[in-house]
A and B are shown apart, each in its own frame.
Chain A
Amino acid sequence: MQCCVCKEKPATVHLTQIVGEKMQKLDLCEDCAKAKGINDPTSFAMADLMLGLGASQELDPSAGTVEIKCPRCGFSQADFKKSGRLGCPECYRTFAEGLAGLLKTMHKGTRHTGKAPEALRKSRETGDRLKALQKKLNKAVETEDFEAAAALRDEIKALSGATPIKAAK
């Protein structure tokens, strides 16, 4: 088997990673593996490598479809493939689908759990609480605990100023 980076030397380092439902495989020769800093597949180096190789596959549009460009800044998937950087903050929305798998391999989680700008902190907390309450409400309706459901509905109403979505039974 040939190394998939230099396509010259035989591959002796084999990496397999499962991202979502997809399995990604990398076969590297020792020199390329060393150059990429891989000595432990669980280390970040793998993610770094994926950014150069796997990422492009992830982000590649399926054959025949038009290449997606960021409506805000005009950045394309090909640009990402080249630089490993994005064009503007909006790109995260534009390329959300392709990035999701990549972020999973790269980070501890896919949801930010740290600091937020103060102006957004409150709405962020409210959003989190609403989600939790709605979940509880769905459960209460499911188990026909209508007393609890009514209380939860009132709580959600007070918190959001809107009527909660009716849970499908």
Chain B
Amino acid sequence: MKDLHQFLISPAQAAQQHGPHDRIVMSSRVRLARNLRDAAFPGWAKKPERVRILEAILPAVSALPEMADSFAEAMDNLTALDKQILVERHLISREHAAKNVGSGLVLNRAETFSVMINEEDHLRMQALRPGFQIREAWNAIDHLDSALEKKLNFAFDNELGYLTACPTNLGTGIRVSAMLHLPGLVLAEQINPIIQSVNKLGLAVRGLYGEGTEALGNVFQVSNQMTLGESETGIVERLEKVLAQIIEHEENARQTLLEKKRKVVFNHIGRAYGILANAHSISSKETMNLLSLLRLGLDLGSFPGTDRALVDELLLTTQPAHLQKQLSDKLTAEERDLIRADMVRERLKDVNRPVTK
């Protein structure tokens, strides 16, 4: 068995990955749901059937050229901490982290493909890209899907398309999403009308970890809802247009804040720096919210000489499971808050106070 932690890209490396518009679009992903024709969906299949499905799918996925030298493992072979780290990296869903016997994961070396086996559907395959690259992600996962359909019999109906456990995913089984950092719209109090108008277009806006989660650190996920009656490329193009507009609104909001509410913006950034650079105990939630403001400060030129990668790395390493992994002893939440504060102070030691020009 491969060691997950030797396999995973280090947080420092992960923070160095760049893509178009990554000031605002942190990452893009396209997920496809697929099921085998002759088996019950994972939620209904009994354990032996799930194991049989896993044993059929896992080798087929691992053998794809894109997945050469991949991390392929049954979920019951991963510790709770490993699973939580994968969630914090956005490589598996929280639902999948709760799975054990009969579920699995295949992750490629570059972490650009993650295939969950027996999550809600037999296959949830996703392509991931840094920055605004949903079209690239679609092309990549389309290619992987076409290769896999030669080996596995997918459940497909001429009228209804790909058949999925939940009718909400029926048809294309696609979910196109982008993770957006929108501190400008939040500070300008324009985020709610934006969310509402995006909802009206049939798109969903969610928090950092998907369904039913809050928007920590001003990070929002925008994705399609409807999967039937519109082609994959139609959905990708529609989302591209909406995302381009959100990016523009965020840029405008930042510009307007700088022109009309300089004191408000610099007050937020200055206080965020003050707390992060001096705190001796800090929760992961507060850390995320303050790092978001630091990231905004970096974008606005308040921290000349500091790379945004520093903040992006801290956004990962200060999360509970990542923090726990760096330590040998199992810590309580309170103890983690102390260590987290020590780590952040240490990393911000060489970052000068924000300049306000």
Q: How far is the CA of A79 from the CA of B228 in the complex (A)?
A: 23
Q: Is the CB of B232 within 8 A of A115?
A: yes
Q: Is the CB of A87 within 8 A of B232?
A: no
Q: Is the CB of B35 within 8 A of A89?
A: yes
Q: Is the CB of B202 within 8 A of A114?
A: no
Q: Is the CB of A120 within 8 A of B158?
A: yes
Question: Given A111-B159, A116-B161, does the pair A89, B37 have CB atoms closer than 8 Å?
Answer: yes
Q: How far is the CA of A102 from the CA of B202 in the complex (A)?
A: 16
Task: Report A101-140 residues with CB < 8 Å from chain B CB.
Answer: 102-103, 106-120, 124, 127
Q: Is residue B303 contacting chain A, with contact meaning CB distance below 8 A? A: no
- Cβ-neighbour of A88 out of B41, B120, B234 (below 8 A): B41
Q: Interface residues of B, CB < 8 Å — how many?
A: 45
Q: Is residue B165 contacting chain A, with contact meaning CB distance below 8 A? A: yes
Q: Is residue A73 contacting chain B, with contact meaning CB distance below 8 A? A: yes
A40, A45, A112, A119: which has the most chain B beta carbons within 10 Å? Answer: A112
Rounded to whole Å, the gap between the CB of B113 and the closest CB of chain A is 18
Q: How far is the CA of A3 from the CA of B302 in the complex (A)?
A: 51
Q: How far is the CA of A53 from the CA of B120 in the complex (A)?
A: 21
Q: Is the CB of B204 within 8 A of A44?
A: yes
Q: Is residue B68 contacting chain A, with contact meaning CB distance below 8 A? A: no
Rounded to whole Å, the gap between the CB of A23 and the closest CB of chain B is 21
Q: Is residue B327 contacting chain A, with contact meaning CB distance below 8 A? A: no
Q: Is residue B196 contacting chain A, with contact meaning CB distance below 8 A? A: yes
- Cβ-neighbour of B159 out of A102, A112, A117 (below 8 A): A112
Residues of A near B159 (CB, < 8 A) are 110-112
Question: Given A40-B196, A89-B35, A103-B228, does the pair A108, B202 have CB atoms closer than 8 Å?
Answer: yes
Q: Interface residues of A, CB < 8 Å — how many?
A: 40
Question: Given A73-B40, A92-B157, A115-B172, does the pair A86, B167 have CB atoms closer than 8 Å?
Answer: yes
Which residue of chain A lies nearest to B156 when distances are taken between CB atoms in the complex? A117
Q: Is the CB of A85 within 8 A of B149?
A: no
Q: Is the CB of B44 within 8 A of A75?
A: yes
- Cβ-neighbour of A124 out of B158, B167, B202, B225 (below 8 A): B158
Rounded to whole Å, the gap between the CB of A96 and the closest CB of chain B is 9
Q: Is the CB of A84 within 8 A of B158?
A: no
Rounded to whole Å, the gap between the CB of A98 and the closest CB of chain B is 11
Q: Is residue B227 contacting chain A, with contact meaning CB distance below 8 A? A: yes
Which residue of chain B lies nearest to A42 when distances are taken between CB atoms in the complex? B200
Q: Is the CB of A110 within 8 A of B229?
A: yes
Q: Is residue B170 contacting chain A, with contact meaning CB distance below 8 A? A: yes
Q: Is residue B166 contacting chain A, with contact meaning CB distance below 8 A? A: yes
Task: Report A10-65 residues with CB < 8 Å from chain B CB.
Answer: 39-40, 42-45, 47-48, 51
Q: Is the CB of A107 within 8 A of B228?
A: yes
Q: Is the CB of B44 within 8 A of A85?
A: yes
Q: Which residues of B contact A (CB under 8 A)?
A: 35, 37, 39-41, 43-44, 120, 142, 145-146, 149-150, 154-163, 165-168, 170-172, 174, 196, 199-200, 202, 204, 225-232, 234
